[in-house]
Amino acid sequence: MSANIPRFTLQDQVAVVIGGTGELCGAIAEAFAGYGARVALVGRNQEKAANRIARITASGGAAWFENADADNKASLEALLARVVAKEGRVDILVNGAGVNSATPFLEISEEEFERIFRINVKGVFLACQVFGRYFLESKIPASIINIGSESGLVPLSRVFTYSASKAAVHNLSKNLAREWAPLGIRVNTLVPGFFPAEQNRKILQPERIERIMAHTPAGRFGEAWELGGAAVLLASSASSFISGAEIVVDGGYAAMTI
């Protein structure tokens, strides 16, 4: 008996990519648009989104900028209302807003700790509440993709609060996957390895880069576009039986020991 494998397509889907004005989530948004989705790039700086949107539209895709605060529930509710008013529905949510810091543990202030958790964890929590309620009430078979981190699986040195916050995102995602899978809502964690991005460039000194490369079988950093394939898989119906998973894109880093 031949299997009826769903197509890798996002045609007629609407995606909201929170953090889409950044490098990694911007690349995910571009991949979504390339597979037919109409994509809202969500952030606080329209100028940062302009080049990405221009590339998407030049390739025949559909994308636009939405201004919203990832850690503010009212702002997220207004975002959802605007996208539904514009497109009629939302099918895909990506939670990718995030901040990092390399402050030594004993020097981490309460303010820094709370800021990182507010954006990295509370933002995911609030967006999942706001959009999850919409998905449940609309009975839309949706896909939620939360952006985790290698440091959410195994703690990394020098990024104590970031590692703890991403571990919380991984756990939250699994809990929601368990609760919502019977209702047709899939929740997965996309786990980037080492990808140079705005939030980690300050801590990538030569010595640290050398250590990372020695632990990465591929022998290089990831490029932002290389997250697109895994993201499209998780967003599309081709992954209809994948929920609660941690999809690692790291050039073999997690498989390396000695």
36: DSSP letter: T
Catalogue the active-site residues: 162
- In the structure encoding, which two tokens stand for residue 32, read together? 């979504």
Angle at which helices 123-138 and 73-87 cross, to 10°? 40
DSSP category for residue 70: T
CA-nearest of 187, 156, 161 to 174 is: 187
| Nearest in space to 22 (alpha carbons), one of 48, 57, 50 | 48
Phi, psi (degrees; rounded to nearest 5) at 251? 65, 20
Euclidean distance between CA atoms 40 and 17, whole angstroms: 6
Structural contact between residues 224 and 23, judged by C-beta atoms closer than 8 angstroms: yes
Angle at 10 between CA 45 and CA 68, to 5 degrees: 20
Is residue 29 within 8 Å of residue 39, measured between CB atoms? yes
Alpha-carbon distance of 63 to 93, in angstroms, equals 14
Helix 228-235, helix 23-34: angle, nearest 10: 60
- For β-strands 62-67 and 38-43, DSSP reports them as parallel
Q: List residues bridging with 246 in a β-sheet.
A: 189
